[in-house]
């Protein structure tokens, strides 16, 4: 088992880069945000618990998050390689992930911190569009769909996530700064943190990560 983490503010490009990495590696993409959105859509018990937090841009409680990640990992083979996106978000989640991996004799192999200036983050989030059907990520200017409102990959309808509205974006960036930045120090101390310049083209960011991955 191997495990890497994509870390970075909302809008840093974690999901976009994950899609590229997924295509050129055998890492499984585990996005807690995607899993929660599916749970909300399906009105499952987890979805009902998570909905109000998500609408406000607050973090869903650690126990809920660790529960869905554990369930996911129990379904995969013991040799699986994980690329976590949007998880862990708190020190408690990082500790929980460490404990989960330890059960499989594994640890976090690399943490990629996507470094993007704040004005770029706000622009990316406010212009982001997501496919309702397959979750593919677009941007009205930077990564437009070929036909407006229609996903290039599956033909599904694209939409703006309600939490990408300007009011919520500001809160999400603040929540990130408060709760997630402690993780940077935690992983840096453990010698697994790699800072990746991520303000430019998605391919450049993904190439930088692939070069580090080759040496892990
Ligand atoms: P994301 O798609 O990663 O931006 O996540 C969307 C929303 O889902 C966040 O604003 C949180 O409300 C919730 N969420 C996703 N991942 C986590 C996590 N690891 N811990 C707590 N809340 C999360």
172 is catalytic: yes
Q: What is the pLDDT of residues 197-208, one digit of tens each?
A: 999 999 999 999
How far is Cα 211 from Cα 115, in angstroms, rounded to an integer? 17
pLDDT of 155 strictly over 90 = yes
Beta carbons of 153 and 136 less than 8 angstroms apart:
yes
pLDDT band at 167 (very low <50, low <70, confident <90, very high): confident
User: Class assignment of domain 2-116+178-213?
Assistant: alpha beta
Average pLDDT of the residues in 87-112: 95
178 is catalytic: no
Q: What is the pLDDT of residues 120-143, one digit of tens each?
A: 999 999 999 999 999 999 999 999
pLDDT band at 42 (very low <50, low <70, confident <90, very high): very high
Protein residues with CB under 6 Å of any ligand 1 atom: 10, 32-33, 36, 53-54, 57-60, 65, 86-89, 93, 163, 172
Output the residue whose Cα is nearest ligand 1's atom 5. 33
pLDDT of 158 strictly over 90 = yes
pLDDT of 62 strictly over 90 = yes
Boundaries of every domain in the chain = 2-116+178-213, 117-164
Output the residue whose Cα is nearest ligand 1's atom 2. 33
Q: Is the pTM of this model over 0.85?
A: yes
132 is catalytic: no
Distance 122 CA to ligand 1 centre (A): 17
Sole residue written with tokens 């599904």? 156
Q: What is the pLDDT of residues 47-61, one digit of tens each?
A: 999 999 999 989 999
pLDDT of 179 strictly over 90 = no
**Counting atoms of ligand 1 from 1, which one is nearest the CA of 93?**
19
Beta carbons of 110 and 212 less than 8 angstroms apart:
yes
pLDDT of 35 strictly over 90 = yes
Residues with Cβ within 8 Å of 5's Cβ and at least 6 positions away in sequence, in order, are 83, 84, 87, 88, 108, 110, 111, 112, 187
Residues with Cβ within 8 Å of 63's Cβ and at least 6 positions away in sequence, in order, are none
Among the listed residues 14, 37, 129, 208, the single catalytic one is 14
Output the residue whose Cα is nearest ligand 1's atom 10. 57
22 is catalytic: no
Beta carbons of 10 and 121 less than 8 angstroms apart:
yes
Sort 199 into a burial class: Cβ within 10 Å, 0-12 / 13-18 / 19+: middle
Nearest to 64 by CA among 41, 93, 101, 84: 93
Beta carbons of 10 and 169 less than 8 angstroms apart:
yes
51 is catalytic: no
* Dihedral, CA of residue 122, residue 126, residue 132 and residue 134, to nearest 10: -40
| Chain mean pLDDT for the chain | 94
Give the other-Cβ count within 10 Å of 47's Cβ. Answer: 17
pLDDT of 27 strictly over 90 = yes
Quote the pLDDT of residue 180. Answer: 82
């Amino acid at each position: 088992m191997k495990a890497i983490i994509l870390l970075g503010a909302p809008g840093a490009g974690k999901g976009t880069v994950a899609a590229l990495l997924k295509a050129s590696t055998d890492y499984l993409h585990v996005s807690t945000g995607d899993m929660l959105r599916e749970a909300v859509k399906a009105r499952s018990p987890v979805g009902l618990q998570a909905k109000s937090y998500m609408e406000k841009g607050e973090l869903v409680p650690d126990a809920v998050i660790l529960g869905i990640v554990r369930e996911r990992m129990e379904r995969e083979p013991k040799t699986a390689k994980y690329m976590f996106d949007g998880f862990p978000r708190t020190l408690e989640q990082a500790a929980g992930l460490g404990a989960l991996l330890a059960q499989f004799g594994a640890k976090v192999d690399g943490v990629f911190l996507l470094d993007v200036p704040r004005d770029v983050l706000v622009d990316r989030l406010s212009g982001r569009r997501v496919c309702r059907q397959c979750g593919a990520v677009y941007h009205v200017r930077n990564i437009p769909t070929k036909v407006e409102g229609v996903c290039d990959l599956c033909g599904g309808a694209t939409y703006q996530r309600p939490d990408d509205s300007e009011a919520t974006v500001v809160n999400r960036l603040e929540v990130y700064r408060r709760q997630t930045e402690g993780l940077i120090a935690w992983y840096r101390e453990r010698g697994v943190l790699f800072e990746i310049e991520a303000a430019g083209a998605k391919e450049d960011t993904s190439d930088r990560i692939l070069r580090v991955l080759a040496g892990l």
